[in-house]
Structure 1
Amino acid sequence: MTAPVAPAWDQGFGAEGGLYRRLRDGCARDWVAYTWHPFVQGLSDGTLPLEAFRRYLIQDYLFLIHFARAKALAVFKAESIEAMRDKTAAISAILSETLMHLRYCAEWGISEAEVRGTPESAETVSYTRYVIDRGLAGDILDLEVALAPCTVGYGEVALRILADPNRRVEGNPYQSWIDTYADPGYQAMAKAAAMRIDALGESHGGHARFGMLSPTFSEAARLEARFWQQGLDGL
């Protein structure tokens, strides 16, 4: 009997039987609620209200600042000098991304003053502090598991959009956002992040710790879904 072919959005993220896929499959309902949230579907078919996207963009900038801090914590928690170098490079890339993000916001009519003057939403605070808390309380695997739904999840979100039969390409105002995460460079980074979870799972007893790691991954997925939802709230 021929094995079923995985859907286009489910290829390349982690090894079969590896820790990443176990974590993702262990929270399947929450994972789909995040990666195929109504916000994401609106990006795909171009129907997402512009105000919802603008609200998301501002909070995403504020999120990136704390994401860089989480990566700095990963340098401290890293298991090797090579991992420290990788995480240091990631911090530099994220800080550069904040500048690109401000330019992108300007294209949507959002000034830097407005972005930086907007307070963090409750969703942004709860998500970013949760990730940092898991890193402070645990080891590098705890931190990486909390970070993975963001890094790897956005890669899957992009592939889900590309596979969507209702996807709008021509005239979709969000096509540039889709292109960012569908880009081969980002996809390679997302796949590497999933494989790192697998590798840390082997070196740090991940399978034996699954009962503790799974709730962290699930909660991060739920917080990601709430991060999308804040864009839609209040419309």
Structure 2
Amino acid sequence: MLITQKLWERNYNLASLSLNTKFVQGIKNGDLPKTKFQEYLAQDYFFLESFARAYGLAVSKSRNKKIIKTLSVLLSGVSEELILHETYAKEWDIDLTTNLIGPATKKYTDFLEEVSLNLSLIEIMSAMTPCMRLYSWLGKKLLNMISDNPYKEWILTYSDKSFDNLAKSLENLIDEYDESYDIEQVNFLYKRSMELELDFFNAYSSFS
């Protein structure tokens, strides 16, 4: 079994908890309050910016041309996602210029910054992969949605094959990594990312 498959299976319970948050189920059912989705989108913009910086630092720590090329493509994908979020912001009446970072978002971005500044390439990728794999998995889980779901575009974005391919390309770099590393440290970082994702979704799950 590939290392990323093992990491996913070891932390599958956290993915299931994320799926069952009121926020994610609200997206699936289309009954998530608009204000909660607005808050989430505004905060996710901070996270995507942090993700982009982490990719840049990962590139700076690699001497492998294939890894640099793949990470650069992934960085470009995040840039496109940021543009998509700006479009979402206009559609959902969100003013990103007055946006302040929330506690759950800051915990996640601080974690990514600390890892990407201070740790190795494999550790950075291990901290970043869970977000990609989780969103792809959630998108597929939510695909059987009601036809007039206001969050249809979000679901289609993350359930799309192209997003799954981005997740796989990052996972492949971990699976093919040929330098020695501590598997327990890698799992610790992977698990911590999954926990922070869960906290992020829970931050927008308090509604009746």
Query: TM (normalized to structure 2)?
Result: 0.91
- Corresponding position: 1:220 with 2:193: yes
After superposing the two structures, state which structure 1 stretch, 26-35 or 120-129, moved more: 26-35
Tell me how far apart the structure 2 counterparts of residues 142 and 79 of structure 1 sit (CA, whole Å): 15
SS at match of 2:201: helix
Q: Which position in structure 2 is the counterpart of 1:40?
A: 24
Aligned counterpart for 1:147 among listed residues 100, 105, 128 = 128
- Corresponding position: 1:52 with 2:24: no
Residues 79, 152 of structure 1: alpha-carbon distance in 2 compared, 3 angstrom cutoff: farther
Q: Which position in structure 2 is the counterpart of 1:82?
A: 66
Q: Which position in structure 2 is the counterpart of 1:97?
A: 81
1:150: how far off? 0.8
- Corresponding position: 1:157 with 2:128: no
Tell me how far apart the structure 2 counterparts of residues 233 and 71 of structure 1 sit (CA, whole Å): 32
Q: Percent identity?
A: 26
- Corresponding position: 1:187 with 2:160: no
Q: Which position in structure 1 is the counterpart of 2:103?
A: 122
1:118: how far off? 1.3
Tell me how far apart the structure 1 counterparts of residues 73 and 172 of structure 2 sit (CA, whole Å): 18
After superposing the two structures, state which structure 1 stretch, 35-44 or 101-110, moved more: 35-44
Aligned counterpart for 1:196 among listed residues 173, 178, 196 = 173
CA contact (8 A) 1:31 1:218 kept: no
AA in 2 matched with 1:177: W
1:141: how far off? 0.7
CA contact (8 A) 1:59 1:124 kept: yes
CA contact (8 A) 1:145 1:197 kept: yes
Detail structure 1 runs of 4+ shifted over 6 Å in the superposition.
none
Which runs of 5 or more structure 2 residues have no equivalent in the other structure? none
1:159: how far off? 1.3
Residues 34, 197 of structure 1: alpha-carbon distance in 2 compared, 3 angstrom cutoff: farther
Query: TM (normalized to structure 1)?
Result: 0.81
1:153: how far off? 1.1
Q: What is the number of equivalent residue pairs in this alignment?
A: 208
Q: Which position in structure 2 is the counterpart of 1:8?
A: none
Q: Which position in structure 2 is the counterpart of 1:229?
A: 202
Structure with the greater alpha carbon radius of gyration: 1
CA contact (8 A) 2:133 2:167 kept: yes
Q: Which position in structure 2 is the counterpart of 1:62?
A: 46
Provide, for residues 92-113 of structure 1, a one-character-per-residue CA deviation record: whole Å limited to 9, x for no partner.
3323332221111111122xxx
Tell me how far apart the structure 1 counterparts of residues 184 and 116 of structure 2 sit (CA, whole Å): 17
- Corresponding position: 1:71 with 2:23: no
After superposing the two structures, state which structure 1 stretch, 57-66 or 76-85, moved more: 76-85
SS at match of 2:142: helix
Q: Which position in structure 2 is the counterpart of 1:3?
A: none
AA in 1 matched with 2:179: H
- Corresponding position: 1:168 with 2:145: yes
Residues 55, 68 of structure 1: alpha-carbon distance in 2 compared, 3 angstrom cutoff: same
